[in-house]
Amino acid sequence: MKEKLNEYYKKRHAELSEKLRARKKKVRWFITTEILSFVAAAVVVVMFISEKVSVMPFIFIFNPLFALFLVTKGIDRSNTREVEGIEAKLSVYSDNLKYLKGIYSSFDDGRRYVNPKHQYSFDMDIFGKDSLFQRICRTVTMGGADRLADILSSSALPGASADECRKAVERRRRAIAELADMEEWRTDFLAVGYKNKVHTETIRRALDETRKADIPKWALSNTSLALAAVSMTIFAVLFLFTMFGNLSADFVSIWTVVQLGASIGLSAKAIKMISKAVDRLSGSLKPYIVLLEHISKTSFKEEENKRIVTALNLDGDAALASMKEL
């Protein structure tokens, strides 16, 4: 069994390495195209400002160049995400190959859970270097690691009878067996947090702070939305008059600064609070969303795994949609 796993991991590692090389070769072409199209578009803008090119030629030349830049940029970003994903999977397979050689240093040893006063976990080396926790823990969130540590530190399910405990163990055994057969699914899951575990508690606190942000009621009223729409419309009209008429650009600039200053001044407190929360979320929320989607969109057969998916889908797609907006 160990030899088969070793060969399988090596094969997958080689396949992904080749795929990674092919992806990276494309990067220089994307970057070259982005630079050339952007520079060309900038030159056209300069020529238009210096009145060496009239409006219509400017539109017909600038728009395709800028569109090429945007499209290439989008493709480049997509390719970069693919590269990062492949690198993450390679890291997972590399760690698994080390594991088969008896090298566990790449995995969380759970030493923070060591409790010398615990009735059995300290004596049985449940946590720490080369411990049971380090050998079996493949969690990618701190909340998941805490949950596993809690299970390993509990002799039984609280308030459950011996028969209920046996049934729970059997359900978990079958759930683990199902996941064991889903190698690619597990690798995709592990790849999300291959660099750093997602800090679940940080996300929870930040979301709670955002929810409690003191946003003025008037800011969410229909009147405010109407005023914002009117302000944007006026700006668009003034901009067009500046581009194709005789209106001074200074007037548009002053209008923009006044509107922006008023908006920020009226909602500065709420913006500051939300901004702080979002800053804390930025590093953890994206992988957390990927994990939630990865789990919730999977059709499991075993009861324990189905229960997890059901729990994640209680609020439908509303929670995920809100997180994506953040």
Phi-psi region of 149 (alpha: psi -120 to 50; beta: other; left: phi over 0): alpha
Interatomic CA distance for residues 144 and 138, integer angstroms:
9
pLDDT band at 156 (very low <50, low <70, confident <90, very high): low
**pLDDT at site 10:** 92
pLDDT tens digits for range 280-290: 666 667 788 88
Interatomic CA distance for residues 262 and 227, integer angstroms:
12
**Of the ranges 56-70, 169-183, 184-198, the best mean pLDDT one:** 169-183
Contact 141, 291 (CB under 8 A): yes
pLDDT tens digits for range 70-129: 999 999 999 988 998 999 999 999 999 999 999 998 899 999 999 888 888 787 889 999
Say which residue, 251 or 177, is predicted with more confidence: 177
**pLDDT at site 134:** 93
Q: Is the pTM of this model over 0.75?
A: no
- Return mean pLDDT, the chain: 81
pLDDT tens digits for range 260-284: 777 766 666 666 666 666 666 666 6
Question: Is a pLDDT exceeding 80 seen at residue 244?
Answer: no
